[in-house]
């Protein structure tokens, strides 16, 4: 006898089978996929908020260097960004979609709008 990991019922079958039926197998995997998708949705929300926040900061400060603390006070979450852009002159930009910033050594950032 084996125990189904979805419905917990006992069933006859090879001992390496984890599910009593195709339906239990599907339920189990659909649930796992939904959990993974909700993680993606959460991260997308943070990225979107970061993008909005950088736009607000850009409207106020343009490309003047500002402290990362100021950005964080506006709601920027520095753990999340979409990619790193390396400019032809060797400068590194942290990007949120089309908007990015250059890091200065004094914890200041300089926002750049990519055209």
- Which residues lie closer than 8 Å to 77 by C-beta, 6 or more apart? 46, 49, 50
* Number of chain positions touching Zn ion (CB under 5 A): 5
**C-beta of 32: minimal distance to Zn ion in Å?**
15
Q: Binding residue for Zn ion (CB under 5 A) from 3, 17, 18, 20?
A: 20
Nearer to Zn ion, 7 or 95 (CB): 7
- The alpha carbon of 76 is separated from its chain's Cα centroid by a whole number of angstroms, namely 13
Q: What is the rounded CA–CA span in Å between residue 34 and residue 27? A: 11
Q: Binding residue for Zn ion (CB under 5 A) from 4, 54, 66, 109?
A: 4
Q: What is the rounded CA–CA span in Å between residue 65 and residue 62? A: 9
Instruction: Please report whether residue 6 would count as binding Zn ion according to CB under 5 A.
Output: yes
Q: What is the rounded CA–CA span in Å between residue 39 and residue 37? A: 5
Nearer to Zn ion, 31 or 63 (CB): 31
**C-beta of 33: minimal distance to Zn ion in Å?**
18
Contacting range for Zn ion; rule: CB under 5 A; set: 23-31, 56-64, 75-83, 96-104? 23-31
Question: Please, are residues 7 and 24 in contact by the beta-carbon 8 Å criterion?
Answer: yes
């Amino acid at each position: 006898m084996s125990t189904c990991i979805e419905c917990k019922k006992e069933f006859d079958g090879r001992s390496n089978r984890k599910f009593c039926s195709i339906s239990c197998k599907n339920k189990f995997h659909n649930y796992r996929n939904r959990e993974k998708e909700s993680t993606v949705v959460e991260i997308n929300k943070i990225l979107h908020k970061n993008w909005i926040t950088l736009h607000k900061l850009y409207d106020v400060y343009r490309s003047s260097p500002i402290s990362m603390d100021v950005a964080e006070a506006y709601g920027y979450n520095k753990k999340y960004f979409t990619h790193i852009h390396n400019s032809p002159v060797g400068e590194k930009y942290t990007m949120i979609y089309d908007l990015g910033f250059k890091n200065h050594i004094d914890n200041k950032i300089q926002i750049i709008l990519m055209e």
